[in-house]
Each structure stands twice: as C-alpha cells, then as structure tokens.
A and B are shown apart, each in its own frame.
Chain A
C-alpha cells in the first residue's frame, strides 16, 4: 500500500515536490543568507548543487536555480537512472498521454489583475554581464490556435516595464508560427508563461514535438500520468495546474521591432541584440508562497534537450539497423552538437552509424565506439579514439550540411538576410577496425582482483 502511494506521489509530483526530493538526494541546497537578484546566477555557477535562495533581497519570493545543470541533476529531477535518460525519453515520446483539465488549481491560489499587475514584484534576476536586462529564463510559454491546436515551448523574456517584456521569437518555432498568423491579421495572441513547472512538463515543452502532437501529451508520456492543466484566468490558454507562477497576457502585433537581448545563449556564448515581439502582461497568478525558477544558461537549457537528442540518435541508429548499446550527448557539445555512441558492431557499421548520427541537424561531431567502452568515461572514449582509429581511414568529414547561426565558425555575419548557414561535420569511427582481432585489445587485469577489497586496506 505504502509502495503504491509512493509511486502515485511520484507520478503526481509537482515542482516543489521535485525540489524536496532533489534536496533529499543531495542535488539541491538551501541558501538562507540574503542574496541580491544581481548575484544569483554567479552563485549558481559556483555551487556544487542546485540552490534554493530562501532570502532574496527586497522580495518575499525565493529563487531556485541550477536544477538541470548536470546530467546527474537532471536525472535526479526526473527520478530516472542517469544512463537511461535517452532511452526513457524515447519510450515516453512513443506513449503520449492526453492532459486532464482541472477546475481548481494551485497556480491560481492568488490572482492579480488590472493595476495590481507589476512584474517588478517578481525577483527576475539579472544573469550575465552583457545581458540587455533581467530575464525570465525558465518560463514555459503556452498558446493555442484554432487550427494548429495547443502549444508549449521555451522562450526567454526580457524585462522592459512593469507590464511588458520582450519575447525571443527570432528563430523558427511553433509559437513564432502562431504569432505570425495573428501578427499578419494585426491581432493579439493570448499567451501564458508558466514559471516553476516540473521537469517533465519543462522537458516536454523544450522538445520539438512532431506537428499535431501537443507537448503536454509528451509530458504525460514522460510522467506516466496525464499532465494536469487548468484554463488561465484571463486568456483562453491551458497551463500546468501546479505551476508556481503564471503570467497571463498577449503578444502584441508589433512584429519584430522591440529590442531584445543580448542574452547568454544556449551555446555558452553571449548572443546578439535582436528585435522581437512584446508580451504585455494582464494578470499574474501564483501559488501561495510561490518559488521563482531562474534557469541557468547554458547547461540547464542544454540538458533539458539532451535526452531528446539521445533519443533521436537511438532512433536514426535503429533505422540504420544498428544495435545500440548506449548514446551520450556530451556537455561540451551543449548536449546535442557532439555525441558518443557505443554499438554492437558488424562490419562497416562504424561508418554507417556515423553517417546516421551526422544526418541529424543538431549533431555536428560524433564518435562511435564498440560496446566494451564506457561512453560516460571521457578517458575510455579517448583511449578508443587513440588505439582503434587511423585518422586517414576512420575519420569522415561531411561538407555543406545544414548549420546554425549561433555557431560563429559558420561566419553567420557574412550571410545575406534570410540565408541559412551550412557547416562541415565530422565523425570518428573508434570501433575496432575490420581485420584486427579483438584479442589485440585485451585489457590489463590486475592479478587476483576479486580477492582484494579497497576498504580492507584504506
């Protein structure tokens, strides 16, 4: 009975329940000393765990940050095994669950409208030296379109005035598509921003779901239980019922005219000044004693996408008929641009695997190893590259592939407006070359290893 209740609690866990569990598991610490919103990002960057700043100068709302800064922390937030993020994500995406609509929601325990709406009452932090202003970095935007259906996605918002923020809709996205339709008709687009949602809902929103699939159905698949949504108070949009804070409002039909940025981007570099639409806030709803979530760039943003990248790698390798032992999106490659895959190789499949991995738009470099290599150990991967690879035979370079503007090495500033960058990609086949017997790679084994226990001596 108790075990069943624990499982049920886990499936219905909300953001603060997730924080409590992460704290129990040692992945989150409380900071009781008063801190300025100027300093939260610097502290998060130095902390060995996520931090919950309980006393934020001049605010009565605590701020949490660094929740998904590492693979371990993300695994803790999801309550999934570290090595199974990609495979679990793939399974969940294949089993979407429709959300459930509720009438009574914690996120609407306190409602402010009209003159009571003031964004400065929220501890929106100033994050990076060259940012254009304080940012809401951990918001999930919810919108609806009569033809395209409901949508959730992750977009940053820069503070401008008490009621207005500039929202980054610069790159192609579902919400940009929705906005373009209302912008062309000179209409407002109702949008709600949920701050402080569980990792399941956040990761689902960060995922580029196939057309026609609501991201909150993916969230249900991830959770193993339907996501609970509630209709926002002042706009016709559904939001997570357990969100800590919800900003309700409209994207104005000003087009891409409001200055926004620069902002510390997901690739770990300071971005450019952009021009974007304005979001005007008409209502703020929140739980009693809400917690503000400040997502820390770049790693939290990157790790939220890491499992989806690993799942995509597994999918393309599977389509190529390759047996996958493991896939790891690496942190240095922003959890997507660089991947390592271990396979049960048959002749020629090292290169086949590389071709499959490099076909993914996001992947720029890939390493393929045999399944005896621990791909979570960079030294092991380097060992495989060193001794199983001949550079003139086992490295493939593909030119003229689809690139991204955020990568300075594609020289995006030389492109004409609207022109898309191309990039070169490379892959390293670090599997045992055909014709070399496996015994040539026999590892050293310490004599009588099973008889020696470290704790008996140290």
Chain B
C-alpha cells in the first residue's frame, strides 16, 4: 500500500452511476462490496474532487444533472 496508488477509473465510474439518484454513503459501500475498502475510498476521493455533490437533509449524495 502506498500513497502513489491511484483510483480505479472503472470504480470511479460505478460510484458516479450510483450517484445518479440520492444515495447514502453506506449504499455506495454496499454497491462496491466486491472492491477493497481502500479502493472505494480512493475512488470516492476522485469523485469528490471532480464533482460538487449535492446533499439532502438525510445526508444522501447525488450528482446534479449537469455535473
């Protein structure tokens, strides 16, 4: 494990797909159970860097249409 590890683009895309609708972070972890936890965090870091995510009062995330 090192700091130079990069996010898996396919996993980033999967998470972006999850965010088409309001989604709890827990559901993202659930949808990516086939992946290592750290790989999900690396991908999440990329997603948050690329997109300004919306949040609702329940804490769910989603990507606005134009993002």
Q: Do A and B bind each other?
A: yes
Q: Is A133 located at the chain interface by the 8 A CB criterion?
A: yes
User: Judging by beta carbons under 8 Å apart, are B38 and A58 in contact?
Assistant: yes
CB distance from A285 to the nearest CB of B (A): 14
Q: Is B48 located at the chain interface by the 8 A CB criterion?
A: yes
A160–B41 Cα gap in the complex (Å)? 9
User: Judging by beta carbons under 8 Å apart, are A130 and B26 in contact?
Assistant: yes
In this complex, the interface size class of chain B, counting residues with CB under 8 Å from chain A, is: 20 to 34
Per-position contact with A for B19-54: 1 when CB-CB < 8 Å, else 0?
000001110010000001111011011001100010
User: Judging by beta carbons under 8 Å apart, are A126 and B29 in contact?
Assistant: yes
User: Judging by beta carbons under 8 Å apart, are A58 and B48 in contact?
Assistant: no
A123–B61 Cα gap in the complex (Å)? 23
User: Judging by beta carbons under 8 Å apart, are B49 and A132 in contact?
Assistant: no
Among the 9-residue stretches A114-122, A344-352, A360-368, A383-391, the one with 4 or more Cβ atoms under 8 Å from chain B is A114-122
Q: Is B67 located at the chain interface by the 8 A CB criterion?
A: no
Q: Is B14 located at the chain interface by the 8 A CB criterion?
A: no
The A161-188 residues at the B interface (CB cut-off 8 A) are 161-162
Interface centre among A59, A60, A115, A162 (most CB of B within 10 A): A162
User: Judging by beta carbons under 8 Å apart, are B59 and A58 in contact?
Assistant: no
User: Judging by beta carbons under 8 Å apart, are B37 and A130 in contact?
Assistant: no
User: Judging by beta carbons under 8 Å apart, are A60 and B1 in contact?
Assistant: yes
Per-position contact with B for A103-118: 1 when CB-CB < 8 Å, else 0?
0000000001001111
B49 contacts which of A58, A161, A259 (Cβ < 8 Å)? A161
User: Judging by beta carbons under 8 Å apart, are A121 and B45 in contact?
Assistant: no
A132–B53 Cα gap in the complex (Å)? 12
A126–B30 Cα gap in the complex (Å)? 12
Q: Is B13 located at the chain interface by the 8 A CB criterion?
A: no
Q: Is A57 located at the chain interface by the 8 A CB criterion?
A: yes
Give the 9 A-B CB pairs with smallest separation, nearest first: A118-B3, A161-B45, A262-B59, A120-B41, A58-B36, A116-B3, A58-B38, A259-B55, A162-B45
